[in-house]
Each structure stands twice: as structure tokens, then as C-alpha cells.
Structure 1
Amino acid sequence: MTQTVVILGGSYGGLHVAHALLKQKSDIKVVLVSKSSHFYWNMASVRAIVPGTIPDEQLSQPLSVALERYPKEKYEIIIGAVGKVDPASKTVLISVPGSDRSVAYDQLVIATGARSNPTGPPVPWKHLDSHEETVSSLENVRKQVQAAQSIIVAGAGATGIELAGELAYEFGKTKEITLLCGGQSLLSGDSVGPSAKSALQKLNVKIQLGARVAGATELPDGKTELSLENGETMTTDLYLPTIGMLPNSEMLDATYLSEKGYVVVDASYRVKGLEKDGVWAIGDVVSKPRAGYLITQKQAAGVAKNILLTLQGKQPTNVKLMLVDILACAVGRSSGAGRIGFVKMPGTMVWLAKGRTLGIQQLPGYIDGSVA
């Protein structure tokens, strides 16, 4: 009898699992649910907002193209917004244009990622509510970047560092680029922080520590006034926040979530409390041990394997992540900062491994299925 695996989310984790399952000869039907019609290489969005660097067609491809190589009866793509999951009936509610649809599952994978804090301006670091909105946001930010003389990037995590680096690489001698860090060190005190700070300063980025944004107000002249928690105010032509990412986990009851809203999973990446109900979660919606592309890849491969084991009546195994933790931040198009475990990576190594392309050359693997 055909087993239905519903995958919520068509990004790095969800599409990876879809390919891994559809390649099997098992009697499985995959239902991929995504709010966007396209797979989006958001990792390169920090460079794509710099005018003339990356054309939109290199950033995204239709999900329909990614799955068209498989028999039509083996999969379905639903473009819609995820509603509530009902573990008792093993159904999930999907809002599609004009109606709601209840979709039944035997196994469910939650790979819905995270989104930018809705209180800030729309930014393309993550997929917005549709492919069209994401493309529009990219183009709007490009125009704003071109026109601005002063730009403030808020948030000194990996995205904020890479964004400030890309802007400074292109405009560091002609525009004022400022990076605000809420704490006293970049990357929340990670050992990569000092190297990233040094690389940014070489590109003329002004770094302000202890500068946590409390609010942003658009002024009549189009500028933005920022209120900091320390009482200071700042005015800039363009404000680009990379803070306040929220997990897309509202489809589950709070019982299955952490205090910050992340889905809580066990070592096999089954949702805790739903271990016997065939519900799994991976990627940024879990952020275990943290959010990251390489981590999501390992989670996707492990969960696909565990679903196949479960459907064979076998016990799932612990998902194996990377043997050592790797953190790499590109800083512009010529350098970077990173570590492999506790070993520092030279800037040129980070550039070769990540900064040169920001991984865009791997996008075709998600379309032709070779990623899995």
C-alpha cells in the first residue's frame, strides 16, 4: 500500500528529503508543500542585493522542474500556506488560493525554516510569502542600496557579517557602512568573531558594539531613525536588519516547541511527544545544534533514511551530523573568517570554500536531484 510522506517546506531541507525518498523504489508518494513556487538559494542573497552581481535566475528555480524527472503519480507539489497539524487524524491543513485543503499523511516532515521578524522592513535573506515577493524585495533593496550614502546593518551574526562585507567590498570607499552588534563581540562570542571583525574593518566597515536596536522609524525624507536600547538614536539612508529571525513553527501546538518557538526533536529528529506519530523536523525550524546549511544537509539525509526504516517497520537511528563543527563567514568577495572545530581557517580558505560563489554552484544539485 502506498505510504504518503508530506514535506512542509521546499527549501534546502525539504527538497533534499523529497529527492532522497523519490529516488527509492519503495511504494511512497511525496507531497511537497511550499509557500513559494521556487527553490531559492537565499545563502547568496547578501551578495545579490549589490547591483550587478547575481541575476535573479541564478538564485532560484521552479520546484516543478526539480521533481519533473520522477513519475507523476509519485509526487504532488502544493503551493500554499501551512495551517495546523492534527497528529490525532494525521492531517495538515493547507491554505491554497480560494480555499483550505486537508492533506493526510503517514509520515510528516516539518522543514519550514525561519522568517525575518515581521516588525522590520521586508528583506530577502529568507523566502518571503511568494517567489514574486522575494524577487520584488531583492530588486527594491538593490535600488535602495544604489541610492543610499549611509547603510546600517543590524545584527552581527553570520548573515549580518556577510551582508556588511558584501556592501563594503563594493561601496566601502564611497558609502558609509555600519554594522551594529547587540553584544560586546561578533558572532555571540564565537572564536571566529575577532577575525571577522578585522576583515570587516579592512573594508572600512564601522562596527558599533553594545548597539541593540529597539525600534526603527521611517522619517518623512525617506531616511530611517533607529532607537537603540542604550538610549542612543541613529539616522541612516538605508536600514537592513538581520536580527529577529523567527521559526515557522505555528503549525504545531506549543507543547512541542521550545520557549523560543523552535521544534523540539530527539536524536533521530522525531518531534518529541510525537515519536509514534511519524512527525519529523529539520533545519532552521529546529536549529539543533544551530541553524546552518551543512547541518541541514546532514539532518535531511538522516531523516530520509529514518523514514524509510520506519516504513519498513524498523527503528530509526540517531542522525549523524558533522564530525567537527564548521563555521565560515565570507567577508566580501576576497576574504573571510572561519574555523574547523577549534582550528582557525585562513581567509583565503574561507573565500575558496564559500566566499567565491556563496554556494550557488550547488543549486543545480537541488534541481537535478544529485544533492541526495
Structure 2
Amino acid sequence: MSTETKNIVVLGASFAGLAAAHNTLKHVLPKLADKESYHVYLISSSPDFYWRVAGPRAAVSAQLMPDDKVMYPIAPGFAQYDSKQFTFIIGTVKSWDTGARSVTLDTAGGQQQVLPYHALVVATGTRTPTPLLSLHGTSEETKAELSRMRTALNSAQTVLIAGGGPAGVETAGEVGELLNGSPGWFGSGPKTKKATITVVTADSKLLPALRPALAAKAETFLSRVGVDVKKNVRVDSAAPAADGKTTVTLSNGETLTVDVYIAATGVKPNTSFAPSHLLNDRGYLTANGQTLRVDGAGPRVYALGDVASYARGGVMDIYDAAPVAMTNLERDLSAYSPDKPDATPAGPDRTYTANLKETQLVPVGQSKGVGAVFGWKLPSLMVWLIKGRDYMVSNADSIVGGSKWAKESSWKPTDS
């Protein structure tokens, strides 16, 4: 039996990366005859996992959503595994050489490290325009921006939020309730409107993934907390003014100067390190939409989560995709032999099928929300119970600590 150490490298330690690392250690390696010859590396630019789901509430109030409810140290969650088989590296991926089968890292200690891989899982995700809603490097940048935003909102009289998707609507609802208060369960608007808050969206309605009736309901809920919506208009530019305000130019020619500007207009994939021939025209990593392998990168390379071309985006999509990638990883590792390094496993692969049914939960303030699950519309109270109460922060420990994946997702070849 070979004594060669075979590295399984996971790039990224948010939802997808944590799912890959825990599943590999819990379920993939124990099935391998030469499991002692493998070593799992988890690479992250941050020592902390950010529960970005709660970013909209964390941005407005440390009392409602303190930092320790959204930031979770990663390393303690992996202390359960043998150090001979796992290493956590805080560093940034600078380049990826598919020919040499290695990635180059800039580590937190200021050193450059070339890390060879036997198998690679790319789970670097996407980033929002603002570190309020996703990590931009280390968690310290997000913590600083959360603190800055909370201070700015305390005295804000004008706020503009760009983006009519879930992040924009949720943030607007939280800001509206913070500054203008809630009219109560049956009121139609704030008792005293202390701030002018505007959401702009390039779409003809809010929340493009949801049916028009739910989008209209979300707009009504925003109106209750004093938020106005401008549709069919986008932000062309936003420039800081000398007095700390921001001057925003809209596509309709309108120019606004506001106390607080928040960009929630979409995401970009974290793929600056990847060879250009592996990316699609939007910069996402091109992956096989069924097996989740990155076929153009050579054997035993996988894309998991929002960074991948097949992904619809969101945590639920990751939960559906992770078992597929991990099953195919185990199959590929089992098929490998030194004399046949490119061998493919016998029999059918496990395949991924995107859930295309209407599924999205969007809290609007601290008591309302709209949403649907698998095409079924949910009442506002149910959206609040599931997500709006605390943005599901109680789930974070199971993600970081791995108990979310304590039980392996079962699969038989006939299931495909």
C-alpha cells in the first residue's frame, strides 16, 4: 500500500466549504481502504465563519444581532478530527495551476505556500458589493463595517439601498423599522416618519424570484416602516461626498445625496485565482451540472456552492449539491491507483438536479415577511417564525461544528 500523502484541498470555509470538509472527514475518508494516506486541508481568508444570513439585522443593531451571533471561529469545530488528517490554513488563494495540480496561497503569516492536491473542492463562493453582507477577506473588515454602519444609521435622515432582491429588501426592512419604528400589526405606515428611506431596483418589481403577488406584499410591508420603492431604475454611480454623505446618480438622471448608501445589488464570484479557461462569461467556475466535477481542470476537481456555474445560489442549493459532490469524490478516490491516476469509477455517478420550485423566505422588519417553499406560499407569520425572528442563527453552530452532517446522505446507484 502506498505511503504517499494525498492532499484533499477545500478552498473556502463558508457554507459550501464547511460542508465539504466535514463530509470528507466524517464520511468519505472512512470508506477508503487507504484512508490513513489522505490529508484534508481547509483554506479560508478568515478565521471566522460569517452567518451572512443575518447580515441585514446585524448591520442595523448590535443589540438585536451582536457580533458573536454572526461570527463563529472555524478552528474549534474541527478539533474533533485527528490532526494527522486535517489542517486549517488561514490564507488567500492567489493562483491555481491545473497542470501541476497545485494552488498557491498567501498565508496570514505573510508567507507564500504552494500546496499540491490529489483532489480539490473549489467552494470560494461569491461576494456582495459591501462587506456588510459577505466577507471581504477576514472577518475583521466585516466587523468594522458593521460597526461603522450602525453608527451612521443612528443619525441618518436619508438612506438609499440599491437592489430589490432579498438582501436589499431585508436590509431596507431592518433600517426602516430601526429609524421609523413599526406601526404595529395592523398599521399601514409609521406613526412618525423620521427618515426618508428608498430602495431602487432595476427590475419592474421587488424579489424577482418570487411571484408578483408576494413582491407586492413585500412592498406593502416596506411601506409600513416608511420605505419607498423606485422600480425600473438602477444606480449608475455612488461617490462619497466631503461631508461623509454619498452622492448617488440614478439611471433616470436623478441625483441624490444621502446620509447612508448601502449597495445590495448582487454578487460576483470569488474566482480571481482561477485560470480563465475554466470560467464562464460571468466569471463563474464552469462545472458539470450533473456530477459537479470541473471537467476542464483534470481528475478529482469539484465546484461546490455559489462559485459554480450550475448553482442557483443560496444555502438550500448548497445543501442539495454537497451530497452529490461528496459521493462522486469518494467514488473517484476509490477508483484511483498510482498506475492509473486518471481512472474513472465504474457505474453511474450520483447526479445533481436543481430545485427550480419557488423557494425563498424574506423577512421584512422584525415581525413581517413574505416567502414560498417548493412553490407553496407561506403566510407572513410563518416566514417570521422560520427566519424573521433571529435569521436562523441557532443553525450556525451545527454548520461550523459539523453536526449538520453527522448523518451521511444515503445514495444507491439506482437512485440516479
The amino acid that maps onto 2:247 is E
Partner of 1:186: 206
- Residues 326, 339 of structure 1: 8 Å contact kept: yes
CA distance in 1, matches of 2:322, 2:216: 32
Q: Structure 1: which 5+ residue stretches go unaligned?
A: none
Is 1:60 matched up with 2:71?
yes
- Asked if structure 2 preserves the Cα contact closer than 8 Å seen for 1:87 and 1:277, the reply is no
1:30 and 1:320 mapped to 2: Cα distance?
27
TM-score normalised to the size of structure 2? 0.84
How far apart are residue 292 of structure 1 and its match? Answer: 0.7
Is the contact between residue 49 and residue 145 of structure 1 (CA under 8 Å) also seen in structure 2? no
For 2:114, which of 99, 102, 122 is the aligned residue? 102
Q: Structure 1 residues 163, 361: closer, same or farther in 2, change over 3 A?
A: same
SS in 1 for 2:302: strand
| Equivalent residue number for residue 157 of structure 1 | 165
Name the CA distance, whole Å, in 2 between partners of 1:320 and 1:331: 30
Aligned twin of 1:214: 236
CA positional deviation for 1:244: 4.5
- Give 1:165 deviation, angstroms: 1.0
Equivalent position amino acid for 1:201 in 2:
S
Match of 2:414 in 1: none
Q: Which letter does structure 1 place at the counterpart of 2:102? A: T
1:110 positional shift? 0.8
For the pair 1:254 / 2:257, whether they are aligned, the reply is no
1:370 is matched with 403
Say which of 293, 296, 304 aligns to 1:273. Answer: 296
Give, as a single letter, the amino acid of the residue that structure 2 aligns with 1:257.
L
Max Rg structure: 2
Match of 1:242 among 239, 252, 264: 264
1:142 matched to 2:143? The reply is: no
Aligned positions of 1:309-320 closer than 5 A:
309-313=331-335, 314=345, 316-320=349-353
Residue of structure 1 equivalent to 2:25: 22
CA distance in 2 between partners of 1:187 and 1:288 (Å)? 21
Q: Structure 1 counterpart of 2:156, which letter?
A: A
Q: How far apart are the structure 1 equivalents of 2:363 and 2:91?
A: 34
Contact 2:12 2:42 in 1 (8 A): yes
Alpha-carbon separation, structure 1, partners of 2:203 and 2:354: 29
Deviates more, 1:26-35 or 1:286-295: 286-295
> Paired residue for 1:12?
15
Of 296, 300, 316, the residue aligned with 1:294 is 316
Quote the Cα distance in structure 2 between the aligned partners of 1:149 and 1:287. Answer: 41
Give the Cα–Cα distance (whole angstroms) in 2 for the partners of residues 60 and 152 of structure 1. Answer: 26
Partner of 1:79: 90
Q: 1:167 to 1:357 in 2, by over 3 A?
A: same
* Matched position secondary structure for 1:312: helix
* SS, match of residue 172 in structure 2: helix
SS in 1 for 2:371: strand
**In the alignment, which residue of structure 2 is the partner of 1:43?**
53
Q: Which amino acid aligns with 1:288?
A: Y
> Do residues 350 (structure 1) and 383 (structure 2) align?
yes
CA shift for structure 1 position 310: 1.3
2:207 aligned counterpart, secondary structure = helix
Q: Deviations over 1:239-271 (max 9, x none)?
A: 000125210012222222111111121111112
Aligned length: 367
Cα distance in 1 between the residues matched to 2:380 and 2:203: 24
Deviations 1:190-247 (A, max 9, x none): 3142222222122221111122001111112211110112211111100000125210
Instruction: Tell me if structure 1 keeps the 8 A contact 2:9–2:41.
Output: yes
Task: Give the secondary-structure state (helix, strand or coil) at the position aligned to 1:186.
Answer: coil
Which amino acid is the alignment partner of residue 226 of structure 2?
N
1:126 aligned counterpart, secondary structure: coil
Equivalent residue in structure 2 for 1:227, among 231, 246, 249: 249
Secondary structure at 1:371 match in 2: helix
Question: Secondary structure at the residue paired with 2:397?
Answer: helix
Q: Distance in 2 between matches of 1:202 and 1:287?
A: 38
Q: Could you tell me which residue of structure 1 aligns to residue 44 of structure 2?
A: 34
Does the 8 A contact of 1:14 with 1:300 survive in 2? no
2:104 corresponding residue in structure 1 = 93
Native 8 Å contact 1:48 1:138 kept in 2: yes
* TM-score, with length taken from structure 1: 0.94
Matched with 1:336 is 369
Give distance in 1, aligned partners of 2:215 and 2:309: 20
Kindly tell me: are residues 353 and 322 of structure 1, through their superposed partners in 2, closer, same or farther at Cα, counting changes over 3 Å? farther
Question: 2:305 touches 2:311 (CA, 8 Å); kept in 1?
Answer: no
- CA distance in 2 between counterparts of 1:263 and 1:325 reads 25
Identity across matched positions, percent: 31
Higher mean displacement: 209-218 or 284-293: 284-293
Question: What is the Cα-based RMSD across aligned positions, in Å?
Answer: 1.7
Q: Which of 202, 217, 229 pairs up with 2:224?
A: 202
CA-CA distance at 1:20 after TM superposition: 0.8
TM-aligned CA distance change 1:48 to 1:287, over 3 Å: farther
Q: How far apart are the structure 1 equivalents of 2:24 and 2:209?
A: 39
Give the match's secondary structure for 1:235: strand
The residue identity in structure 2 corresponding to 1:105 is: Y
CA distance in structure 1 between the partners assigned to 2:73 and 2:22 by the alignment: 14
CA deviation map 1:156-200 (0-9, x unaligned):
111001111111122234322211111221123631422222221
1:171 aligns with 2:179: yes
Deviations for 1:244-302, whole angstroms, at most 9, x for unmatched residues? 5210012222222111111121111112423x421111212126341111111222232
Q: What SS does the aligned partner of 2:253 have?
A: coil
